[in-house]
Amino acid sequence: MQEPEEKEVTKQADVIVLADQLITINGEKYNIVEDHDGGFDKEKVEERYNTVLDKYDFIVGDWGYDQLRFKGFYEDERKESGIDNRISHLEDYLIEYCNFGCAYFVLEKEKKTPIAKRRRSQQRGPHKQNGKIHANHNSNHSTNHKKTNNLHAPKIHKNKKRPVTHNKKKTNSPTKTRNFKIRKIGEKS
């Protein structure tokens, strides 16, 4: 009788364990922030890792049906981060997309790409210039001004405001107000 042949495993990444909670993947250092139920497996990470994950600040590996899958997350402050790939939403991801009670691990990149600073015109609130505090003109005002690029709009003096018109339909029914309470997952009502 013939023994079944073992599949030859191709390495997608070079993983080196440097210390108890420090590894490198293709030369990039990562801290093992969390290793739930022994989810980190060096050999499986070498097999399944994809270089697309290099751009993320955090890499989560979770197990389901004996398969390791990865998901990348950014720091919350990054402009590249969407609501679903911010690290603050890790718990939501684990609850929504992972098998209940599955083993998983979280890797944090040691040298992250610096977060780009916003331009001064995009910043909100007052700023300091020549020792004096100045109000930023791009901040939200309590009045409802809209910028228009309409060259045919009537000119308005600086001291006079344009009359506000409302194009709302009038209804005879009384207005109903509803109070909604937004709650987080896991919060008891």
Between β-strands 28-36 and 22-25, what pairing exists: parallel, antiparallel or unpaired?
antiparallel
Give the integer Cα–Cα distance in Å for 37 and 20: 16
Q: To the nearest whole number, what is the mean pLDDT of the chain?
A: 75
For the ranges 17-26, 75-84, 123-132, the lowest mean pLDDT is seen at 123-132
For 79, the domain range is: 15-109
Look at residue 189 in the predicted model and tell me its pLDDT: 53
Per DSSP, 186 falls in state T
DSSP symbol at 65:
T
Residue 115's pLDDT is 76
**Residue 12 binned pLDDT confidence (cut-offs 50, 70, 90):** confident
Q: Tell me what percent of the residues of the chain surpass a pLDDT of 90.
A: 44
22 in any annotated domain:
yes
Domain harbouring 58, CATH code: 3.50.4.20
- Give mean pLDDT, residues 11-38: 93
Reported as a pLDDT band with limits 50, 70 and 90, residue 172 is: low
Most distant pair of Cα atoms in the chain: their distance: 97
Q: How is residue 113 annotated by DSSP?
A: P
Is 117 part of a structural domain of the chain?
A: no
Q: What is the mean pLDDT of residues 147-161?
A: 52
pLDDT the model gives residue 166: 55
Predicted structure pTM score: 0.58
Q: Say what the pLDDT of residue 16 is.
A: 93
Mean local confidence (pLDDT), 120-146 = 48
Residue 115 lies in a domain: no
85 sits in the region (left: phi over 0; alpha: psi -120 to 50; else beta) called: alpha
- 21 belongs to a structural domain: yes
Most confident region among 68-72, 75-79, 179-183 by mean pLDDT = 68-72
Q: Find the mean pLDDT for residues 60-69.
A: 95
Per the model's pLDDT, the better-predicted residue between 122 and 99 turns out to be: 99
The structural domain count of the chain equals 1
pLDDT score at 117: 61
**54 occurs within a structural domain:** yes
Asked if the structure places residue 137 within a domain, the reply is no
Does residue 32 fall inside a structural domain? yes
Residue 74 lies in a domain: yes
